[in-house]
Amino acid sequence: MTDAPTDRRAALKERSRQAIVQAAAELMDSTGGTAFTVDELAERADVSRRTVFNHFASLDDVVAEVCADVLGELIQKLATPIETGRPAAGSSILDELAAVVRSTDLVTPMAYLTRTLGGTDPHGPWHANLLNQALTEVGNGLVAALRRRYPEADTLDLQLLASSFTGGVLVLHTHWWERTGAADDQVSRVVWAELLDHLIEQLRTGFGTR
């Protein structure tokens, strides 16, 4: 039989954690960056400073959790059509992945993360490192979805495909940011679509000299 008091404590702990993450997301959105203190975060979440550190070792860990939430939604949007759709006759795994990626809105989460992480320099190492960590999680989600869809496929091949895609998206992000200012508008989406088409074509044909 489940211990009810234990369940209540676990539920309260989870609510506190979610309140902290939500407060961090709101502060990142309102300030356009991560320049807030633990005290400001605790006040916004209506918890004590000690409670924040009971859940997270640092503010960076809280920010990482916010990014994970945003990307969790993106992973689900990418994974669902891979797992439930029906590939066209004769299409490859890359063809199916390309179709799903083209039909998924990547601009909105990228623009949000760029803005809320306080990005000002497309070539800044700190920002690039955070996005790299975030896209690694997206790649892991893609591999898991592809393995469920294609259980007979070689795991190494799926990992190479997913990492090539996510690594390419990281490069595209820099060029897209430079050209659009990481805006979330129609012009930005056109630029992103052009860059994405280039990446997919390179993955399909290789990177030999022309």
Q: In CATH, what number is assigned to the domain containing residue 36?
A: 1.10.10.60
Is pLDDT at 46 greater than 70 in this prediction?
yes
Alpha helices in the chain (DSSP H): 4-31, 38-45, 49-55, 59-84, 93-103, 107-116, 125-149, 155-180, 186-205
The string of pLDDT tens digits covering residues 1-13 is 455 667 888 888 8
The total number of structural domains in the chain stands at 2
Residue 186 confidence class, pLDDT cut points 50, 70, 90:
very high
CA distance 79 to 97: 10
The CATH number of the domain where 108 resides is what? 1.10.357
**Are 63 and 158 in a shared domain?**
yes
The string of pLDDT tens digits covering residues 112-142 is 888 877 666 777 776 777 777 778 888 888 8
**Are 183 and 150 in a shared domain?**
yes
Report which of residues 196 and 210 the model is more confident about. Answer: 196
pLDDT at 65: 83
**Are 171 and 195 in a shared domain?**
yes
Tokens linked to 26: 């709101």
Cβ atoms of 117 and 130 within 8 Å: the answer is: yes
Residue from 193, 140, 155, 104 nearest 96 by CA: 104
Cβ atoms of 100 and 78 within 8 Å: the answer is: yes
Residue from 112, 110, 100 nearest 171 by CA: 110
Residue 35 belongs to a domain:
yes
**Are 89 and 137 in a shared domain?**
yes
The boundaries of the domain holding residue 161 are 59-205
Cβ atoms of 109 and 71 within 8 Å: the answer is: yes
Question: What does pTM read for this prediction?
Answer: 0.73
Question: How far from 185 is each of 108, 113, 199, CA to CA, in Å?
Answer: 9, 15, 21
